[in-house]
Structure 1
Amino acid sequence: MAKEAKCLMLRTVARLLIFIFFVAILSGCWDFKDINKRYLPVVMGVDKKDNETYRIILQVPTVKGETLFLEGESSSISKAVDIIRTKAEKSVDLIHLRLFLISRKTAEKGIKEIMDYAVRVNDISIKGMVAIVTGDFEKTLHHQIKPTPEVSSYDYFSEEAGWTPNVSINRIWEAYRSAHSYTEDFAIPLLTAGTTTLFDFKGSAIMRRDRMVGSLSPDETLMNNIFQERYTEGTIEIAKDTSLIIKKASVRNRTEWISSGPKLRSIVKLDVSITESKRDKPNEEIAKDIKNLLEKRAAAISKKLRLLKADVLGNGQLFRPRMSEQQMREWKDKWYPEMQHDITFEINIRDNINFKEKVK
């Protein structure tokens, strides 16, 4: 009898375990929400008003290829988003948020609170992009292109879509890191509403810690991207008669700490191909012209950044092994403005395979 009771108990336990197993499988995701009951914004616009309240605009793509705008305003970003959720007839999920557009006025006051919010909120990807809107913020956020409704604002910052190296790239985690760094600053894309496209890019905003202190032109942005090794297929124009495309770039830096302070020598090697030439110049002359142009442009950018005390090129990162904790804290205010920076370009022109007359 004891043996039969034991077998009965084992069979009962086995049936109970099988029942629990099938219940777990058949239940699926118990907190699943139908996609038709959710808003999935891809862009968040942030503007801080004079009364210190945040105005938040969410761009939500629809199945018809149009854009729906959800708006809220409060003293904090999280509360403004909650207000949007309260007014919306569907659940508002931020898991697909890929781009923060911040007004220039807000960027000049500081974006630290915005980046802190983006990093701390669990459902926002820190791989999302950040850009600054100059001009009419409302017009830019509500701007749509009727002939191509399938184009997303995010595509302009995607390396697999419309991005070019004349536009800077800065992700949420990069902006957050640099805003808290002693030895590195960052550049953020600067844009306005376009006429035939969603955006016109005006270059890049120069950020010192978390505040915008100046700007780089598109040509200067290309130089910055070369130093950041984001040069892919960048085009350089020389005196309106010759254009080249960058095929490969490498930067070698040599640091010294002399009696007067830090000294940096940067050697930039570029492999380029000629894409257009209106005059028959020998390759040696073209290489000399591009070398002189880029060295002059790079020296001007380095000087400009040091005057603004904004280490966008990240030169301070190279000196960290040579600096004490106190020197790192003083880098942007004391040492970086006094840094000597010598920049040399070495140009290698590849065989020109783009000219039709050279194709057999």
Structure 2
Amino acid sequence: MIHRSFLSVILLLCTLSALLTGCWDTKDINKRLMPVVMGICKEKNQDYRIVLQIPSPEKQGSQYMESSSATITNAIDNIRTKAEKSIDLLHIRLFLVCEKTAKEDMGDIIDYAIQANDISIKGLLAIVRGDFDEVIHHQIKANPELSSYDFFSEQSGWTPESTIIRLWEAYRNIKSYTQDMSIPILTKGTDTLYRFDGSAIIRVDKMVGQISTEEVLIYNIFQEKYTGGTIEIADQSSVKIKRASIKHAIAWTSSGPQLKSRILLKVEIIENKNEQTEEKITTKLKEAIEKRADKLLTQLKSDRSDALGIGQLFRRKMNEEQLKQWKQQWYLDLDHEITVEVTILNSIYLKSPNKIKKPAN
């Protein structure tokens, strides 16, 4: 006769095995639509217009689905209602916000994207300038959804002359007393999918200004995101920045916060058609970068935006009340000096007659 405790064990194992039969609610990939780009723009009646770009192998391109509603959630639900397949937002890699909406308020858009359970917080954020429909629907080749992401990928199309920001970074910045941000501005490309048109200066959750691609270089150095690039200087010379770093010295005096920043550049000379000396090239590069930095600081203070995140450096020196007043008072009183130090790594490959030793007779 089988012991009662043994029967209990058998029944328990059977119950557990039923629970471990797999993901019973999964959906076949052929029954799902996976958008990679979401476009968001407020219409005149303040409804949100949502456009989803979905890879479509059948069309050798993309499928577009859109809807408008008073809330983003309801607009997406409307798209799901009319879709023939389930829509999975987890694969969205890029969020494009029209410039008009960015100037009004982006806070609710970022809040939605972060709070939604089915959206990755690693998605990239950009602002669309010009005709919203033309930029969203613009296609160059068979797989525009891949081009959209590669355009911002640090392993492919991205360059340090453009900013790059993810949803979680944007959410952190709009909630911060001591840090704002910069978001890339896109227009419709000609021979490429997009064209960078500088970067937007954001104060809290609104676009308040713009910086050029030249000033973006300084911005990325402050964000420690600079990965190297080529800079042209006067007299037909150019250098390649191999490494860029920055060091800060902070102080809080009776007159307010003071900051001295040193940008350290390690470069290689690529072209030197007029055979300038290394000292002259170093001086001109130093002057060019310092001029860009001063212009950027002036612009950011004018827009009352701490996009460089300077306030983060002073957090330990401020009390709670000073933190709250950083952008309104202390940031505007900041005494900030930026200097540049240039080190030329090598000139052995410099193709100039004065650098090539002649063979001995």
Give the direction of change, closer, same or farther, for the CA distance of 1:150–1:140 in structure 2 (3 Å limit): closer
Identity level (%): 50
Query: What is aligned with 2:42?
Result: 48
Q: Report deviation, 1:147.
A: 6.1
Task: Give 1:138's aligned amino acid.
Answer: D
Q: Report deviation, 1:63.
A: 2.4
Q: Structure 1 residue 34 and structure 2 residue 45: aligned?
A: no
- 1:209 aligned residue (204, 208, 229): 204
Deviations 1:84-108 (A, max 9, x none): 0011110011011111100000000
Q: Structure 1 residue 89 and structure 2 residue 84: aligned?
A: yes
Q: Structure 1 residue 221 and structure 2 residue 213: aligned?
A: no
Deviations 1:117-151 (A, max 9, x none): 01100111111110000111111001111366574
Query: What is aligned with 1:307?
Result: 302
The 10-residue stretch of structure 1 (101-110 or 231-240) with the greater mean CA deviation from structure 2: 231-240
Query: What is aligned with 2:195?
Result: 200
Matched residue of 1:341: which SS? strand
Alpha-carbon distance between aligned partners in 2 of 1:352 and 1:194, rounded to the nearest angstrom: 37
Task: Give 2:47's aligned amino acid.
Answer: T
Q: Report deviation, 1:356.
A: 6.8
Q: Contact conserved, 2:61 with 2:142, CA < 8 A, in 1?
A: no
Alpha-carbon distance between aligned partners in 1 of 2:33 and 2:235, rounded to the nearest angstrom: 48
Q: Report deviation, 1:20.
A: 3.4
Alpha-carbon distance between aligned partners in 2 of 1:313 and 1:50, rounded to the nearest angstrom: 33
Structure 2 length-normalised TM: 0.93
Query: What is aligned with 2:266?
Result: 271
Query: What is aligned with 1:77?
Result: 72
Matched residue of 1:342: which SS? strand
Q: Contact conserved, 2:37 with 2:145, CA < 8 A, in 1?
A: no
Q: Contact conserved, 2:62 with 2:143, CA < 8 A, in 1?
A: no
Q: Report deviation, 1:355.
A: 4.9
Q: Contact conserved, 1:231 with 1:246, CA < 8 A, in 2?
A: no
Q: Which runs of 5+ in 2 are unaligned?
A: none
Q: Structure 1 residue 57 and structure 2 residue 51: aligned?
A: yes
Q: Report deviation, 1:62.
A: 1.8
Alpha-carbon distance between aligned partners in 1 of 2:327 and 2:319, rounded to the nearest angstrom: 14
- 2:114 aligned residue (84, 99, 119): 119
Q: Contact conserved, 1:192 with 1:199, CA < 8 A, in 2?
A: yes
Matched residue of 1:246: which SS? strand
Task: Give 1:116's aligned amino acid.
Answer: D
Q: Contact conserved, 1:144 with 1:198, CA < 8 A, in 2?
A: yes
Give the direction of change, closer, same or farther, for the CA distance of 1:115–1:359 in structure 2 (3 Å limit): farther
Query: What is aligned with 1:257?
Result: 252
Query: What is aligned with 1:107?
Result: 102
Matched residue of 1:56: which SS? strand
Q: Report deviation, 1:233.
A: 2.0
Q: Which runs of 5+ in 1 are unaligned?
A: none
Structure 1 length-normalised TM: 0.93
